[in-house]
Amino acid sequence: MSSSSATLQPSPSSYEAPATPAVLCRGVEKRFHHYEHRTTSLRELFIRVARRRPITVRRAVFTLRDFDLRVERGEGVALIGDNGCGKSTALRLIAGVYRPTAGLVETNGRLAAVIELGVGFHPELTGVENVGLYGAVMGLSRREVAARREEVEDFAELGDFMREPVKYYSSGMQARLAFAVAVVCASPEILLLDEVLAVGDAGFQHKCRERLRLLHEQGVTIITVSHDLDSLGDICRRAVWLEHGAMRMDGDLATVVDAYRAASA
């Protein structure tokens, strides 16, 4: 009588590890201090010490509380809300400009940010020199910067002003250069924008939106802050509404924008 044996093979697992998000914020808080009194002279210091009064009086001001945000790779997300609600603070935390008072902020991918005009530019350097400086900060070699400089100049359309110090640039010219170096020189995987398209002429704004649409189609993650709600649909399918430093609503762009407008009416 013959017997046969079969080797048991493990069944393939259906479990798949969740993809790493482009941006993850978990339980984030950001607290600033508002100083109601600061001792400004040695005489006042002695008086306050003698009278056992605090040398400095300050109170904590929270701009973000319990902020949770997960942005998948290739998503376009708009942060909306009234002035002072924490939108720009959230963007600066993601960019690494601020450190959170509490919580976790994690980014996965090459990041470029245009969050304030002129930030990162040396006013005494020319536009061309600032492109080189930006590239060096991003870890690009001189050869890589040189290869991209012409495209940056073509996109910015600043002409001979590229050879002039940035301190002589108007706000619109700074916007052109900032956007050009961010989207061309950095070749970002994550792009952060804070009202940058609100500055500049209509032609340049249209050019920027076309470039953003192309980047989005190529899988670049875009997080933008804007009060121009009608223009967000080109690159965003999702919106996060912030109110008094807390997230009030997160969902489909049209649904969130309609709810925000109804509450603001």
**CATH number for the domain harbouring residue 240:** 3.40.50.300
Q: Is residue 105 part of a domain?
A: yes
- pLDDT score for 82: 93
85 CB neighbour count, 10 Å cutoff:
21
- Give the pLDDT band (50/70/90) at residue 246: very high
Condensed to tens digits (0 to 9), the pLDDT of residues 80-119 reads: 999 989 999 999 999 998 999 999 999 999 898 888 666 6
Of 14-28, 63-77, 125-139, 249-263, the least confident: 14-28
Rounded to whole angstroms, the Cα distance separating 188 from 198 reads 21
Q: Which two tokens stand for residue 85?
A: 């609600």
60, HSE (Cβ side, Cα atoms, 13 Å): 7
Q: Is residue 58 part of a domain?
A: no
- pLDDT score for 142: 84
How many structural domains compose the chain? Answer: 1
Q: Which two tokens stand for residue 54?
A: 């605090």
**Which strands form 221-225's sheet, in the order they lie side by side?**
111-114, 190-194, 221-225, 76-80, 238-243, 246-252
Q: Which helix (H) or strand (E) holds 172?
A: helix 171-180
Rounded to whole angstroms, the Cα distance separating 247 from 254 reads 17
**Which strands form 23-38's sheet, in the order they lie side by side?**
56-71, 23-38, 102-107
Q: Is residue 60 part of a domain?
A: no
- Give the pLDDT band (50/70/90) at residue 147: confident
Range of the domain at 127: 73-264
The separation between CA 116 and the C-alpha centre of its own chain, rounded to angstroms, equals: 10
pLDDT above 90 for 144 = no
pTM greater than 0.85 (yes/no) = no
Q: Is residue 49 part of a domain?
A: no
Amino acid sitting at position 39: T
Closest of 251, 1, 215 to residue 110, by C-alpha = 215
Q: Is residue 1 part of a domain?
A: no
Residues 112 and 179 sit within 8 Å (Cβ to Cβ):
no
Q: Which two tokens stand for residue 142?
A: 């001189």
- Give the pLDDT band (50/70/90) at residue 39: low
Q: Is residue 80 part of a domain?
A: yes
3-state secondary structure of 12: coil
The residue ranking higher by pLDDT, 49 or 141, is: 141
Rounded to whole angstroms, the Cα distance separating 223 from 225 reads 7
- pLDDT score for 138: 75
Rounded to whole angstroms, the Cα distance separating 208 from 205 reads 5
Q: Is residue 12 part of a domain?
A: no
The separation between CA 141 and the C-alpha centre of its own chain, rounded to angstroms, equals: 24
- pLDDT score for 198: 65
